[in-house]
Amino acid sequence: MDIALLVKSIAGLVAVLVVLILIFVLPARKKKAKQKKEEAAKEEEIKQEKKKYEPTPSFDELLKIIKTQTSSTEELQKAVDMIIKYYSKIPQKLGIRTNPEFDKYIALIIYLVRHKNTNKDLILSLDRALRKSNPSYEPELNDALSKALNSRGA
């Protein structure tokens, strides 16, 4: 009878210990998870604010990156992405003549195609974005791309 009482007492103490562990450990885990979520939200907010205040590079600055023959493929990709994001819309034609600003885009295509670190994906992404944003310039863009590809050394 004494052994049965001893076993019941130990079982009761183990049950109390389990309950106490659950009471103290689980809320601490929830707090840590909540803190991690709050920190992640704050970091995301800081990133968004930094993006707001980053100055938009000018078209000429981006063109300079593409003109520089030492630019890496990653730098070219960033420059092309920014051109697509900020400068994919070419000013409208002046009647049947192209806008004088269009010459910058021709130079951009030529420099990108002739760059030693370019690849087909960069050229195609720029070409598609310019065609999509400027359907009235499609023949001129075709000509510029053809001339650039023809002038590229093998």
Going by C-alpha positions, the residue among 134, 118, 137, 131 that lies closest to residue 149 is 118
DSSP state letter for 115? -
> Could you report the per-residue pLDDT of 11-64, keeping only the tens digit for each?
898 998 888 887 877 776 777 777 888 888 888 888 777 666 667 888 999 999
Give how far Cα 14 sits from Cα of 3, 5, 47, 90, Å: 16, 14, 49, 76
Rounded distance between C-alpha atoms, residue 62 and residue 65, angstroms: 5
Going by C-alpha positions, the residue among 98, 87, 96, 111 that lies closest to residue 141 is 98
Return the domain boundaries, the chain: 1-54, 59-151
DSSP for 121-139 reads HHHHHHHHHHHHH-GGGHH
Rounded distance between C-alpha atoms, residue 32 and residue 30, angstroms: 5
Residue type, position 11, single letter: A
> Could you report the per-residue pLDDT of 95-123, keeping only the tens digit for each?
888 889 999 999 999 999 999 999 999 99
Per-residue pLDDT, 1: 60
Q: Considering the entire predicted model, what is its pTM?
A: 0.64
Residue type, position 51, single letter: K
Which pair of tokens denotes residue 80? 């092309």
Per-residue pLDDT, 154: 53
